[in-house]
């Protein structure tokens, strides 16, 4: 049975009789016995200086170039391991309060974006912070189980601010030229917090939806599609130019395609609707993309063109690689494609599970 929790009124009533010493004891027990995430939240509240927000609002405008210098130094120290080890360049106190420094630098970079003379430095600073946050999923830079959650950094919100500033300041063409490579580099199918839990994770949205909300006309979709294909071309050239020992691991193209699957789906729908499918022909055979998600994109495009048998064969191939993929299964059933044996078993199990959740009387009525 679920544990019954007190509501806010009941909780405050329980705390009211406690003196300061007993309150400290309660907080200490919560801190000492709680999870790592709980400890980080308590430390953040303790480290916060009273009146900090008021002072921040009243302070002098930031110097964009100084902000960029600070961000570069912070990022370099983090990537070098200075915040995770006993490096003398970072004090013990600073290592424990890194998230406050991170939050301040994010706020300063976003403030720099607001001034015409500071947007270049502000954009460069925010780009570096976002790069670091994306790397936090796979690399340990700070003493934190989930550093993105600890810093309360919503990557998709920061990217939206960056892109909106660049669009309004530079115009569409320059914005698209900058944003397309960033979309490829930053998009994350399952978010940016390593654990996927917490208040920060709940606020995230995909970058595919961020960019789709900014492309308000057919011409903007066409222009961004061209910039996106050009950015993929550059990725392919950069990877081919590297010495063999430095090239990405073999599955990198498949991972990239999976991360960008939602964007590719949105792009397909819009370009088919606007009768600009030539961009899609470049996309479905691009050397920087690979794997079952690319085959599925080919299947969807073939179906849109009336090539039903080709679409069935392609989605069958996708399911042979990822038999449990819900999107593949739904599309295969929709167009009557034959399913590989593992996909048939999974679909049967899903159907049985769904039927099991319906009351017997309803199942009989449906029969």
Picking from 24-33, 93-102, 289-298, 326-335, which range would have the lowest pLDDT averaged per residue? 24-33
**Residues sharing a CB contact under 8 Å with residue 144, sequence separation 6 or more, in sequence order:** 36, 40, 99, 150
Query: What count of other Cβ atoms lies within 10 Å of the Cβ of residue 245?
Result: 5
Q: Which of 258, 167, 150 is nearest to 210 (CA)?
A: 167
The Cα–Cα gap between 167 and 178 comes to 10
Sign, CA torsion 105/110/112/113: positive
* Segments in 171-277 forming alpha helices (H): 172-186, 199-203, 207-214, 218-241, 252-259, 261-273
Q: Is the pLDDT of residue 267 over 70?
A: yes
As given in the structure block, the two tokens for residue 77 are: 């120290």
**pLDDT for residue 51 is more than 60:** no
Q: What is the mean pLDDT of residues 281-308?
A: 96
What's the whole-number mean pLDDT along residues 323-328? 95
What is the arithmetic mean of pLDDT over 53-59?
50
Two tokens, residue 139: 């690399």
Higher pLDDT, 81 or 50: 81
pLDDT, residue 4, reads: 64
How far is the C-alpha of 237 from the C-alpha of 244, rounded, in Å? 13
The answer to whether 24 touches 31, Cβ cutoff 8 Å, is no
Q: What is the DSSP letter of 166?
A: H
The model's pTM is 0.79
Distance CA 211, CA 263 (A): 9
Q: Give yes or no for a contact between 112 and 104, defined as CB atoms under 8 angstroms apart.
A: no
Query: How far, in whole angstroms, is CA 171 from its chain's centroid?
Result: 25
Pick from 22, 29, 125, 140: which is nearest to 79 by CA? 140
79 vs 354, residue with greater confidence: 79
Average pLDDT value over all residues in the chain = 87
List helix spans (H) across 36-154.
36-47, 52-58, 64-80, 92-96, 98-113, 119-135, 147-150
């Amino acid at each position: 049975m679920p544990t019954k929790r007190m509501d806010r009124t009941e909780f405050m009533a329980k705390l009211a009789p406690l003196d300061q010493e007993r309150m400290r004891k309660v907080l200490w027990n919560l801190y000492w016995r709680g999870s790592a995430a709980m400890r980080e939240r308590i430390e953040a509240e303790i480290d916060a200086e009273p009146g900090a927000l008021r002072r921040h609002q009243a302070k002098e405008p930031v110097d964009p170039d100084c902000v960029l210098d600070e961000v570069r130094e912070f990022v370099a120290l983090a990537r070098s391991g200075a915040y995770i080890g006993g490096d003398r360049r970072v004090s013990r106190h600073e290592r424990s309060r890194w998230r406050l420094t991170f939050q301040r630098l994010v706020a300063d970079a976003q403030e720099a974006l607001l001034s015409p003379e500071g947007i270049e430095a502000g954009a460069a600073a925010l780009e570096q912070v976002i790069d670091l946050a994306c790397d936090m999923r796979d690399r340990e830079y700070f003493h934190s189980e989930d550093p993105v959650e600890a810093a309360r950094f919503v990557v998709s919100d920061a990217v939206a601010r960056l892109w909106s500033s660049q669009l309004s300041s530079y115009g569409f063409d320059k914005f698209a030229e900058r944003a397309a490579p960033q979309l490829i580099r930053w998009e994350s199918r399952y978010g940016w917090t390593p654990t996927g839990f917490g208040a920060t994770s709940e606020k995230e949205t995909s970058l595919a939806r961020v960019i789709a909300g900014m492309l308000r006309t057919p011409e903007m979709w066409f222009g961004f599609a061209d910039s996106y294909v050009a950015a993929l071309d550059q990725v392919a050239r950069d990877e081919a130019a590297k010495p063999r020992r430095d090239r990405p691991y073999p599955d990198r193209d498949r991972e990239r395609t999976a991360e960008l699957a939602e964007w590719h789906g949105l792009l397909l729908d819009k370009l088919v609707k606007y009768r600009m499918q030539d961009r899609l022909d470049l996309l479905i055979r691009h050397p920087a993309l690979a794997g079952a998600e690319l085959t599925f994109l080919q299947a969807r495009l073939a179906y849109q063109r009336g090539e039903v048998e080709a679409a069935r064969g392609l989605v069958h191939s996708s399911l042979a690689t990822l038999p449990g993929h819900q999107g593949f299964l739904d599309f295969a059933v929709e167009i009557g494609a034959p399913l590989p044996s593992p996909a048939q078993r999974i679909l049967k199990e899903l159907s049985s599970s769904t039927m099991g959740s319906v009351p017997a009387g309803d199942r009989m009525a449906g029969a």
